[in-house]
């Protein structure tokens, strides 16, 4: 959720830590802070708001120092003000600590520590960790971390520094991602590889239960029983330009335009249209195993859940396997299930969403095989899945997911074809669909040319107070995704609904003031969609329809028609979603919203 960065080595730590925080602030941006071992002791500076505010606050202060930790926050406990910003300090101010996650027994620990005379300065759960470290008796910081963690319940990715050991950083992980970056005579720690990419490509992901000690001389990882662990060193594959704007005004805009390439990467070398085949190296399921699947459960949150809804229809139609799609946040508490012949597909951009990880653990405990469909290489979900397929979307920085969504959908559609092929989908049909899927990146490229038109529409609609998005079949999840994109970045109320369900409630809201976006590509449900559009028009609603090129049936019923390239009904979401992403983006810009950092949201939601 929040972002953590740290450095110890031979260079000035401040610029490295501030630079890392800037790359991480999409993870949380309520407030930021640093603790630096400087010439005059531990310099701690915190500020509500952005990293730039923190940097300004440091002007004129003595900031020379070779070891520092920093944090950018997404508030869980306590308002986003200076007192609640990290790092948190022990009473003496000798120990400083940054933390992601939630300490579940914080209140009990706070009461106990207060009784022992500790004085608290914030409302956060994190602060108890700083006082626990102070209260511990060990002579080294790592001894104290071990001692403190013995009484802590909850999740953490934490990093601490102590004036008694001014070159050392100790970090610990349980449920919140942390990695060590390896340099030459310098070491980094971060919650996310983007923060250290500028300095090193060699990283080691910590596992739950790991404690790591960094000094300029080296790093050491030990597990809970003090056993040294030799965790694998991974290479970050993406480049610095993947995490830079490259001339775009926002990451969201850049990522929308990357979709022809990102979807191409997802299928390249995997989809073999001429043979009608899909080869997914990480799938881990042979033909016999696919034939033995009784049921598929798709788990995800937010946009990833929408991708799962699109996959449901394709998997069911092509393979005959019944599919249910569950909100991971709800499914994680399911009990009494026998999922012995069920495959659970966990869909996640970050691979760190706490609810999705919780749901995966529930599914596995009920006997399910877990297949991860994940973007971030080496993420917790990738490591906890029995097998998996990476999205290859590259880093997604904009909080509102765009390119990860289309990569999720195209990857899940490949899976649907793979399952279909193993369970009797006729060869010629499989080949036809594979060829159509192979054309999707080009169709997305053509759909992006609608941008000027969407900009004009945005100018007409940006002052509306509420939007309704409707769709049927494969277009219903697109309606949900279109509404989500609009509400999360423009703060306009928007609801997605199955078009026919509208008459059971939302139609009461329709009047001349209400734009209704109807996702209506050419498919067998189009005549029914047209009937729903007429129902909206009869109540005075303004209809913006997203239809297919070459289809004029919508002209007679909709106020405005946007036409995207036509494709098969199962694949149309990959194309119809493009103008909806652009509409949300342009409306949000016209309303003066920060599209990359929408209020109250975070990119990676590592709390339940
Ligand atoms: C947050 C993000 C969304 C994302 C959702 C699930 O809400 O803002 O963009 O869809 O989490 O995240 P995941 O990383 O699991 O796909």
Q: Is the pLDDT of residue 6 over 70?
A: yes
Ligand 1 touching residue 368 (CB < 6 A) = no
Q: How confident is the model at residue 27 (pLDDT cuts 50, 70, 90)?
A: low
Rounded to an integer, the average pLDDT of 272-291 is: 88
Q: How far does residue 474's CA lie from ligand 1's centre (Å)?
A: 21
Q: Is the pLDDT of residue 583 over 70?
A: yes
Mean pLDDT for all residues in the chain = 94
Atom of ligand 1 nearest to the CA of 353: 15
What pLDDT was estimated at residue 586? 98
Q: How far does residue 275's CA lie from ligand 1's centre (Å)?
A: 35
Ligand 1 touching residue 353 (CB < 6 A) = yes
Ligand 1 site-directed mutation target among 27, 346, 350, most atoms within 8 Å of CB: 350
What pLDDT was estimated at residue 580? 98
Residues of the chain with pLDDT > 70, as a percent, come to 99
Q: Is the pLDDT of residue 25 over 90?
A: no
Ligand 1 touching residue 601 (CB < 6 A) = yes
Q: How far does residue 303's CA lie from ligand 1's centre (Å)?
A: 6
Residues of the chain with pLDDT > 90, as a percent, come to 81
What pLDDT was estimated at residue 410? 98
Q: How confident is the model at residue 28 (pLDDT cuts 50, 70, 90)?
A: low
Ligand 1 touching residue 8 (CB < 6 A) = no
**Measured distance CA(104)–CA(595) in Å, rounded:** 32
Residues in Cβ contact with 306 at an 8 Å cutoff, skipping those fewer than 6 apart: 405, 477, 478, 480, 481, 484
**Measured distance CA(126)–CA(333) in Å, rounded:** 26
Catalytic residues: 2, 603
Going by the DSSP 8-state scheme, the letter that residue 551 receives in this structure is -
475 vs 225, residue with greater confidence = 475
What pLDDT was estimated at residue 96? 98
Atom of ligand 1 nearest to the CA of 356: 15
Residue 327 CB: number of other CB atoms within 10 A?
16
* Residue whose entry in the numeric block shows the structure tokens 């007679």: 556
Ligand 1 touching residue 350 (CB < 6 A) = yes
What pLDDT was estimated at residue 153? 96
Ligand 1 touching residue 327 (CB < 6 A) = no
Q: Is the pLDDT of residue 605 over 80?
A: no
Radius of gyration of the chain (CA): 25
Q: How confident is the model at residue 364 (pLDDT cuts 50, 70, 90)?
A: very high
What pLDDT was estimated at residue 29? 75
Ligand 1 site-directed mutation target among 74, 328, 353, most atoms within 8 Å of CB: 353
**Measured distance CA(115)–CA(133) in Å, rounded:** 16
Residue 167 CB: number of other CB atoms within 10 A?
14
Q: How confident is the model at residue 603 (pLDDT cuts 50, 70, 90)?
A: confident
What pLDDT was estimated at residue 599? 85
| pTM given for the model | 0.89
Q: How confident is the model at residue 1 (pLDDT cuts 50, 70, 90)?
A: low
Q: How far does residue 301's CA lie from ligand 1's centre (Å)?
A: 6
Q: Is the pLDDT of residue 114 over 80?
A: yes
**Measured distance CA(323)–CA(314) in Å, rounded:** 10
Q: Is the pLDDT of residue 472 over 80?
A: yes
Ligand 1 touching residue 380 (CB < 6 A) = no
Of the listed ranges 143-152, 177-186, 317-326, 424-433, the one predicted with least confidence: 424-433
Rounded to an integer, the average pLDDT of 188-216 is: 95
600 vs 63, residue with greater confidence = 63
Ligand 1 touching residue 348 (CB < 6 A) = yes
- What is the per-residue pLDDT across 374-387, written as a single tens digit (0 to 9) for each? 999 888 999 999 99
Q: How far does residue 188's CA lie from ligand 1's centre (Å)?
A: 26
Q: Is the pLDDT of residue 100 over 80?
A: yes
Q: How far does residue 411's CA lie from ligand 1's centre (Å)?
A: 17
- What is the per-residue pLDDT across 62-86, written as a single tens digit (0 to 9) for each? 889 999 999 998 777 778 888 999 9
Q: With contact defined as beta carbons under 8 Å apart, do 136 and 102 qualify?
A: no
- What is the per-residue pLDDT across 498-543, written as a single tens digit (0 to 9) for each? 999 988 988 888 888 899 999 999 999 999 999 999 999 988 889 9
What pLDDT was estimated at residue 505? 86
Ligand 1 site-directed mutation target among 346, 401, 577, most atoms within 8 Å of CB: 401
**Measured distance CA(73)–CA(53) in Å, rounded:** 14
Ligand 1 touching residue 603 (CB < 6 A) = yes
């Amino acid at each position: 959720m929040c972002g953590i960065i740290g450095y110890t080595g031979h260079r000035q730590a401040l610029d490295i830590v501030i630079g890392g925080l800037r790359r991480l602030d999409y993870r949380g941006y309520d407030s930021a802070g640093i603790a630096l071992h400087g010439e005059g002791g531990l310099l701690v500076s915190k500020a509500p708001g952005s990293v730039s505010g923190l940097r300004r606050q440091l002007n004129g202060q003595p900031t020379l120092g070779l070891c520092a930790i920093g944090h950018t926050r997404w508030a869980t406990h306590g308002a986003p003000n200076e007192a609640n910003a990290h790092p948190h300090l022990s009473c003496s101010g000798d120990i400083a600590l940054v933390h992601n996650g939630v300490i579940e027994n914080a209140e009990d620990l706070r009461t106990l520590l207060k009784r022992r005379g500790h004085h608290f300065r914030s409302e956060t759960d994190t602060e108890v960790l700083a006082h626990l470290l102070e209260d511990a008796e060990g002579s080294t910081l790592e001894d104290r971390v071990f001692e403190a963690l013995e009484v802590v319940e909850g999740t953490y990715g934490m990093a601490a520094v102590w004036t008694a050991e001014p070159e050392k950083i100790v970090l610990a992980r349980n449920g919140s991602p942390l990695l060590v970056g390896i340099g030459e005579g310098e070491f980094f720690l971060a919650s996310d590889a983007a923060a250290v990419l500028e300095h090193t490509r060699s990283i080691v992901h910590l596992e739950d239960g790991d404690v790591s000690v960094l000094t300029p001389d080296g790093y050491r990882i030990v597990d809970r029983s003090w056993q040294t662990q030799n965790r694998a060193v991974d290479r970050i594959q993406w480049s610095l330009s993947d995490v830079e704007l490259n001339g775009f005004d926002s990451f969201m805009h850049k990522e929308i335009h990357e979709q022809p390439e990102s979807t191409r990467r997802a299928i390249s070398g995997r989809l073999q249209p001429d043979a009608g085949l899909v080869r997914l190296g990480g799938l881990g399921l042979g033909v016999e195993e696919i034939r033995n699947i009784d049921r598929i459960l798709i788990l995800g949150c937010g946009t990833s859940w929408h991708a799962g809804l699109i996959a449901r229809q394709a998997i069911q139609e092509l393979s005959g396997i019944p599919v249910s799609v569950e909100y991971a946040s709800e499914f994680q508490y399911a009990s009494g299930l026998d999922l012995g012949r069920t495959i659970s597909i966990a869909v996640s951009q970050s691979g760190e969403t706490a609810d999705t990880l919780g749901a995966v653990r529930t599914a596995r405990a009920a006997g399910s095989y877990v297949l991860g469909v994940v973007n971030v290489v080496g993420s917790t979900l990738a490591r906890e899945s029995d097998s998996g397929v990476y999205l290859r979307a590259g880093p997604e920085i904009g909080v509102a997911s765009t390119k990860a969504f289309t990569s999720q959908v195209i990857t899940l559609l490949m899976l649907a074809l793979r399952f279909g092929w193993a369970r009797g989908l006729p060869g010629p049909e499989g080949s036809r669909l594979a060829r159509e899927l192979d054309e999707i990146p080009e169709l997305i490229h053509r759909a992006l040319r609608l941008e000027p038109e969407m900009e004009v529409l945005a100018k007409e609609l940006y002052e509306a107070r509420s939007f309704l998005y409707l769709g049927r079949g494969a277009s219903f999840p697109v309606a949900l995704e279109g509404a989500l994109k609009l509400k999360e970045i423009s703060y306009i109320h928007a609801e997605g609904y199955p078009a026919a369900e509208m008459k059971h409630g939302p139609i009461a809201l329709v009047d001349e003031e209400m734009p209704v976006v109807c996702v209506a590509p050419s498919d067998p449900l189009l005549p029914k969609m047209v009937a729903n559009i007429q129902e909206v028009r009869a109540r005075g609603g303004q209809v913006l329809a997203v239809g297919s090129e070459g289809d004029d049936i919508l002209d007679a019923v909709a106020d405005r028609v946007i036409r995207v390239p036509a494709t098969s009904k199962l694949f149309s979401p990959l194309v119809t979603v493009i103008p909806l992403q652009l509409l949300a983006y342009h409306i949000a810009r016209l309303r003066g919203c920060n599209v990359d950092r929408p209020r109250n949201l975070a990119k990676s939601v590592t709390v339940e």
